[in-house]
Amino acid sequence: MTCANCVVTVERNLKKLEGVHSASVNLASERASLEFDPTVLDQGAILERIRRAGYDVAMGEADLVLKRLSDDNDARRLERALLTREGIAEATVNLATERAWVRYIPTVVSQGEIRRAIKDAGFEVLESPGMMEDMERKAREKEISRQRNLLIVGLSFTLPLFLLSMLRDFGLLPETIVDSRWLNWLMFALATPVQFYVGWQYYDGAYKALRNRSANMDLLIAMGSSAAYFYSLPVLFGWIDGHLYFETAAVIITLIVLGKFLEARAKGRTSEAIKKLLSLQAKTARVIRDGNELNLPVEQVRVGDLVIVRPGEKIPVDGVVIEGRTAIDESMLTGESMPVDKHPGDEVIGATLNKMGMIKFEATKVGRETALAQIVRLVEEAQGSKAPIQRLADKVSAVFVPAVIVIALLTFLGWYFLAPPPEGDLSVFTRALINMVAVLVIACPCAMGLATPTAVMVATGKATQFGILFKSSEALERAGQLTTVVLDKTGTITRGQPTVTDILVVDWKGSANDLLALAASAEKGSEHPLGEAIVAAAGERGLSIGELDQFSAVAGQGIVAQVGEHHVLVGSPKLMAENGMVLNDLISKMETLQAEAKTTVVVAVNGQIAGLLGIADTVKEGSREAIAELQQMGFEVVMITGDNRQTAEAIARNVGIDPTNDVGQDVIRAEVLPGDKAAEVQAMQTQGKVVAMVGDGINDAPALARADVGISIGTGTDVAIAAAPITLISGDL
């Protein structure tokens, strides 16, 4: 697909099919979404209609080895079962080789779902020697390679042709060469491969468009370059007097191919966010079936399976803890840095990391129902949704090309019949033709795409000097219309890493540094972020960390350790109470720290409460200043976080965000689930606000894609950076 007119053509053809309720095509992602009645229309008819319109569908292929095929009836039954599955276009089962070949739409059905369909039909998949081909990715790579090769060929012929033409026109060639016939034939020889080899894709696209009773940008390119090329032929053969314009035709096509090559590369990057998200998924799962512990591909995990996860392993699917206690690092999905304690009855999310103990949980959501899959779907929907201006552009494009052709013809007639006689040796026909070609070429969006980067490069180059990376000119244009800036808390306003902020010593003989050194020595063997923060704080102060003789982690409560002659406990009040220690006056100090959005860690030494550590995700140095600047510029600043309300309000006060705006609306959105951030952004948009979303975590990706302008933090995750058209390189607001 090359332009908005292609979108209109495909949508119109799909909507003509009986049984189609709605159809929407996205040019950037080159995807079509449609709703249809399967009792009236099958997938084959849809694919055939798209091909008849002059386009193709990226398909995946799978070659699967089967078991339990006994006769031809089994083969036919399995074929029917596969073909009734949504997203499978072709299926062939070979009884002799016991293999199934499946051709499918990767965006509709996955490898795991194909395997499950085969298993539901009563058969078994032994292996998949032909890995599922990512045909969408391969199709994009093939298109990029094709346009690159065409560009190389075009430049190889066009550059010498253009150089010869300019030297001739400026009188820099000897008269003997200018007057010779072979120079004209050399220009013809250089221009012809460009016109009919490099430019053939535009002739082909124009033919398919006309066959479907529409006109697209390929038609403009074909008409403009052909007018210059074919006018030059009778001049070459001496049938008429005039000027050769072979270089004009070649330059038009080569410049358009350059634009196509850059466009193909840009389209190849639109799915990077999705690929990064999918890469988080665990590949295998340790499942208990019939009393046996099996290592299975994650696609084969079923709802109700009992799954075992050991420390350091990823949670394969969503579920509920049945046995064991642990702390789960959910930062890759929630963006929040603190691990979440998990006990029997608590939910765990697929793709998160088990930090502490071994757990056994029951799978409740698998495949497309998991939280990760839902986030992937949200990003896809946000990327595929159309803005109102895009829908308007689709409507305009339906009449744009015919209107340009009419205007070009009127231009020719006007210059031919109404304009005063031309000066010099330029004929009336030649002048009219030149002006007609100019109208055809300048009206093509590809020509516009070569002109507008001049302005965009100046703006984006200046922005880069200030650490702002724009990935698209649309984001640059849209940024000027913003009214609201939504800031994610963790990793955007704050550093995203816990830091020791307070050390309070109570009835204990040692100093604050002594307390921190003992706590760090005890936490030396811990992988918990709070423990790592304590060790890091001791290292920053140059404190000596003692040898650890014994270490025991108590899931959800803290650690018990022996450091030399000291018996050290570091953890929650519950850990202290279970070891016979009372906090007394320490409670009020803990409440004070907690009101400041700090996590409190109690330290006991040799059976006595020794002190209290305050640990918090500290605010970045530039956050307060940046938020104040945004407010002074008239932007509404909204903070959004998965943290509790108390923590959110404490951070907001610290950086100068009032809980409500001028009209009494809440601008602190706390306890927002990962999938709901995009919904919050959409709710603001329905109020007429033009929203920028600033975030760094994977959970921010759907909101970044949904916002009018997505801004990612350069120090954040690759997924967030890929999903946003603007990146703050330094990671500082």
Q: Contact at 8 Å (CB) between 428 and 422?
A: yes
Under DSSP, the state recorded for 343 is -
Under DSSP, the state recorded for 363 is E
Under DSSP, the state recorded for 196 is I
Q: Contact at 8 Å (CB) between 719 and 276?
A: yes
Which residues are CB-neighbours of 509 under 8 A, at least 6 positions away? none
- C-alpha torsion angle, residues 457, 462, 464, 466 (rounded to 10): -170
- Distance from C-alpha of 190 to C-alpha of 187, rounded to nearest angstrom: 5
Strand, helix or coil at 101?
strand
- Distance from C-alpha of 79 to C-alpha of 693, rounded to nearest angstrom: 47
Write out the H or E segment, with its range, that includes residue 417: none
- Distance from C-alpha of 597 to C-alpha of 327, rounded to nearest angstrom: 20
Residue 120 appears among annotated catalytic residues: no
Per annotation, catalytic residue among 305, 318, 394, 488: 488
Q: Contact at 8 Å (CB) between 615 and 499?
A: yes
Write out the H or E segment, with its range, that includes residue 221: helix 217-236
Residue position matching structure tokens 């307070």: 502
Which residues are CB-neighbours of 187 under 8 A, at least 6 positions away? 161, 164, 165, 244, 246, 247
Tokens read off for 97: 């080789």
Rounded to the nearest 5 degrees, what angle is found at the Cα of 582, between the Cα atoms of 339 and 515? 60
Nearest alpha-carbon partner for 708 in 486, 492, 467, 397: 486
Q: How far are the Cα atoms of 495, 498, 575, 581, 585 from residue 505, in angstroms, in the given order?
A: 26, 20, 18, 16, 12
Q: Which residues are catalytic?
A: 488
